Amino acid sequence: MPDSHDPPEKALASLDQRLGAAEAAQARKVSGDTHAAMAQGYRFVGEVVGGVLGGVGLGWLVDHFAGTTPWGVVGGLLIGAGLSISVAVSTAAKASKITLDRQAPAPSVPDDEDED
């Protein structure tokens, strides 16, 4: 912190230096948040696509060995889609809870004791 007796140019230089450091720290934080959000999005897409493709694959195997063409694929598609949606909703709920836990608590508002 500059002294009150420092010339204005020195005080401005000190302020500019501290502002640059704060901006760099903020940029690092935003970059980390962006990467975490992208990773969460890719995980979500992987769960949905993997569930559907896994269900179709298992349905195809049932069709191939049991000779129930096309019902195994149709059933596998429906089951895989349902399970992948269920897992995606569960993952989104967990991510939302983690995000809310990381945030600072909301400021409390005093109650109005004076009821008219």
Evaluate if pTM is beyond 0.95. Answer: no
Q: What is the DSSP string of the chain?
A: ---TTS-HHHHHHHHHHHHHHHHHHHHHHHHHHHHHHHHHHHHHHHHHHHHHHHHHHHHHHHHHHH--TTHHHHHHHHHHHHHHHHHHHHHHHHHHHHHHHHSPPPPP--------
For 5-24, write each residue's pLDDT tens digit.
Answer: 667 888 888 888 888 888 77
| Per-residue pLDDT reduced to its tens digit, 66-81 | 998 899 999 999 999 9
pLDDT tens for 27-56 read: 776 666 778 888 888 999 999 999 999 999
